[in-house]
Amino acid sequence: MQTPEEGKIRVAFAELIDLVSEKVGGKALLANDEFFAPKENLLKPGRGVFIPDKYTEFGKWMDGWETRRKRVPGYDWCILQLGLPGVIRGVNVDTHHFLGNFPEYASVDALEVSGSPSPESLVDAAWTEVVPRTKLSGGTQNFLPVANERRWTHVRLNIYPDGGVARFRVHGVVRPDLAALRASEGVDLAAAENGGTVVTCNDAFFGPKDNLIMPGRAVNMGEGWETRRKRVPGFDWIVVKLAAPGTLQRVEVDTNHYKGNFPDMCSLEGCTLKEDLLDFANAKDIAWQEILPKTKLQAHHRHFFETELKASGPFTHVRLNIFPDGGISRLRLHGRAS
């Protein structure tokens, strides 16, 4: 049974960005077996679906990665490339819908390599175990913490001896090339791929907070940050920690796909902190400085602000306020790292 402390660990790392998601460029490179269901399913959104009467020529159709029943010694494995290299805080081996066919145990190895090596060349690479062989439960999310501060580019999921996993999440913190950031002008300091992090928000009922800083434009309304309809006075807000302290030159607020539920107005504030704070709502001593005053927004539109900015920083954190509620698909904070 999970202890309260383990529960806190699980909640903490599960809030971090999924470094291997296909949304951020993660790839399932190679598996020793994918007889019943392909490895690419591991990185898809959601937790997977179950269709009772759907079959393929190989057997039951399953929304996950599933290997055949092993009749020889050994175990099955899948090598994945992180879309965003970084420090791993924990993984989620989700066995959703796999009940009589989930693996009994799993372990995770990690690797850092440069360039674009072939998947086959990674099989015998010098992998480091970051999650030891751990017993799994079927039909649930198995959250396994990682205690290692190294930067990784690839992971290998090992399952013992065989079976099916619906989804695999690798939660962590992006570790960018800071030297390259500082050498660039006009870099997006909020972008997840550059090391930006959504620290907290007051509401994310319809759309997860991390969507705000994902690569590219949202493909639908479900890929943005969206709050519930506000029935009390006030406004909604979200705090982004910049990839590095920096000065802002241009801001983009994108309401792509939000047509009947975009915020009426927005504003931006910045601050400089020496230490991270977890509760920005009640941090009375934070001296927020106005960057963009309360400004009208349009539906389904990319808003660019440059001359309207009242302050440029340098800042470490930026808070986007929306009035009174609604959805924003992307926030881009273009500037220069200090």
pLDDT (mean) for 12-21:
92
Assess whether 63 and 116 both reside in one domain: yes
Residue pLDDT, tens place only, 251-270 = 999 999 999 999 999 999 99
* Alpha-carbon torsion (93, 98, 104, 110), positive or negative: negative
Question: 70 in a domain, yes or no?
Answer: yes
Assess whether 147 and 169 both reside in one domain: yes
Cα–Cα nearest to 140, from 100, 92, 94, 104: 94
CATH number at residue 288: 2.60.120.260
Q: Are 255 and 297 in contact (CB under 8 A)?
A: yes
pLDDT (mean) for 193-215:
95
Assess whether 165 and 222 both reside in one domain: no
Cα–Cα nearest to 310, from 289, 333, 332, 331: 289
Assess whether 155 and 260 both reside in one domain: no
So what's the pLDDT on residue 4?
47
Residue pLDDT, tens place only, 271-299 = 999 876 656 666 667 889 999 999 999 99
Question: 90 in a domain, yes or no?
Answer: yes
Residue pLDDT, tens place only, 170-179 = 999 999 877 8
For residue 207, what is the DSSP state? B
Pick 182 or 32 by higher pLDDT. 32
In the predicted structure, residue 5 carries a pLDDT above the cut 60: no
Contacts with 32 (C-beta within 8 Å, 6 or more apart), sequence order: 67, 76, 77, 78
The b/e string for 280-319 (b: 16+ C-beta within 10 A; e otherwise) is beeeeebebbebbeeeebeeeeebebeeebeeebbbbbbb
Enclosing domain of residue 91: 12-174
Give the integer Cα–Cα distance in Å for 236 and 203.
7
ω into 38 cis (within 30 of 0): no
Assess whether 156 and 209 both reside in one domain: no
Assess whether 140 and 192 both reside in one domain: no
Residue pLDDT, tens place only, 88-136 = 999 999 999 999 999 999 999 999 999 999 999 999 999 999 999 999 9
What is the token pair recorded at 218? 């949202």
Assess whether 239 and 149 both reside in one domain: no
Assess whether 59 and 152 both reside in one domain: yes
Q: pLDDT class for 1, splitting at 50, 70, 90?
A: very low
Assess whether 227 and 327 both reside in one domain: yes
Question: 2 in a domain, yes or no?
Answer: no
User: How many separate helices (H) and strands (E) can be counted in the chain?
Assistant: 2, 22
Assess whether 34 and 156 both reside in one domain: yes
Question: 6 in a domain, yes or no?
Answer: no
How many domains is the chain built from? 2
Chosen domain end from 127, 143, 174: 174
Chosen domain end from 127, 144, 174: 174
**pTM summary value:** 0.87
Question: 5 in a domain, yes or no?
Answer: no
What is the token pair recorded at 144? 């396994």
Chosen domain end from 139, 174, 209: 174
What is the token pair recorded at 63? 């929304």
Assess whether 292 and 167 both reside in one domain: no
Assess whether 32 and 82 both reside in one domain: yes
